[in-house]
Amino acid sequence: MTHARIAVVLALAIAATACGSSAPTQGSVAVPSPTPASAIAATATPTAAPTAAATTAPTAKPTPEPDYDKQPDVPDDVDAYIKVCIQTERAIRDLNITGKKLTWYGWRQHLCYGQISDFPDFADPFIAAAPEDLRPAVKDNINAGKELRRLKGPTPKTFPDWKIVEAKPIDALMGFYKEAEAKYGVHWSYLAAINLVETRMGRIRGLSSAGAQGPMQFMPGTWAAYGTGDVNDERDAIMGAANYLKASGAPKDMDRALFAYNRHIGYVNAIKLYADVMRRDESAYRGYHGWQVYYPTVKGIFHLAPGWTKPADD
């Protein structure tokens, strides 16, 4: 038996990873249509050639500061899209950017890679345009999204029985990952990748006692065998996941261990790709921490913000 396979409905949400651009007609918080390329701040262009007497070159208007309290926009023009997404990758790796600004850039990164599901032709130009130091991460993130979309099944008609909460702080979660690595020998990046894919760093809390539970999604029987403490506690769940992975072959055979965690090769491949990104550059984890919860239904794709619970009439 697998440990705690993701509940079917959660796998569907993951397969829709990052939502794309379809705007639903009703629901909780809807994903807006992508911002037109013309809405991206551009430099000013003089309307007439300067005269010979001109001594000062035209001054470009500064790019306005984003509103970090609002959902980011991602363009649907390929050139503007690439510019925004590369700038986002740089911001995530800028250690001077913290707090809600960092969360906002992580959210925009999530939307950048989700855009690929609606505009697959953007993938190759994005990879080609990425600076050499960012290109492996861009390629791995795009391919991880493709792998997760292999898990997709029928689109749900109703919302899941979830509550959405705030993620624990970046440093707190990193401390738990590294504590588990020190005890069980499973590299922290695999634990972070599982936490990302399973519950968006613990944002998703399932309310059904019958299904998978906690930030690392354990079934009750597997938790009883490999977990200690509270399945809904981030530290306890991460330690339990590392224990289970070790019992299943990690760190020597990560493919086997990850397949035991979820018996789908697309899942295994995606976890490995996200982990590779973080192993090459630990600061990439900062972006993943900001990824949000999106859920596809027959009525559209919805952003489930912290505080969300299933509507009573759904």
Q: What is the pLDDT of residues 105-121, one digit of tens each?
A: 999 999 999 999 999 99
Give me the pLDDT at residue 313, please: 85
Indicate whether 116 belongs to any domain.
yes
- Mean predicted lDDT score pLDDT of the chain: 85
**In the prediction, which pLDDT does 210 show?**
64
List the structure tokens of 17. 């990873």
The number of distinct structural domains making up the chain is 1
Kindly state whether residue 31 falls inside one of the protein's structural domains.
Answer: yes
d(CA 303, CA 295): 6
Confidence of residue 208 (pLDDT cuts 50, 70, 90): low
- Is residue 25 scored above 80 in pLDDT? no
Q: Which residues pair with 29 in a beta bridge?
A: 303
More confident of the two residues 35 and 270: 270
H-helix or E-strand spanning residue 266: helix 265-280
Amino acid at position 84, single letter: V
Nearest by Cα to 163 from 232, 210, 102, 255: 232
Q: Is residue 63 part of a domain?
A: no
For 50-106, the pLDDT digits (tens) are: 444 444 555 666 778 899 999 999 999 999 999 999 999 999 999 999 999 999 999
Q: Residue 54 falls within a domain, yes or no? A: no
Would residue 177 count as lying in a domain?
A: yes
What pLDDT, on a 0 to 100 scale, did the predictor assign at position 156? 93
Q: Three-class SS of residue 107?
A: helix
User: What's the mean pLDDT in 224-239?
Assistant: 97
pLDDT at res. 60: 62
Closest CA to 114 of 204, 199, 21: 21
Q: Do the domain assignments include residue 89?
A: yes
In a domain, 247, yes or no: yes
Range of the domain at 238: 8-39+69-303
For 137-157, what is the mean pLDDT?
95
Rounded Cα distance between 78 and 119, Å, is: 9
- pLDDT band at 27; cut points 50, 70, 90: very low
**What's the pLDDT score for residue 211?**
86
Please tell me whether the peptide bond between 125 and the residue prior to it is cis, using omega within 30 degrees of 0. Answer: no
Each residue's pLDDT tens digit, 150-180: 998 899 999 999 999 999 999 999 999 999 9
**Residue 162 near residue 169 (C-beta atoms within 8 A):** no
Average pLDDT over residues 219-244: 97
Q: Tell me, yes or no, whether 47 lies in a domain.
A: no
Question: What sign does the dihedral 146-148-150-154 (CA atoms) show?
Answer: negative
pTM score of the predicted model: 0.83
The number of residues making up the chain comes to 314
Neighbours of 121 (CB within 10 A): 9
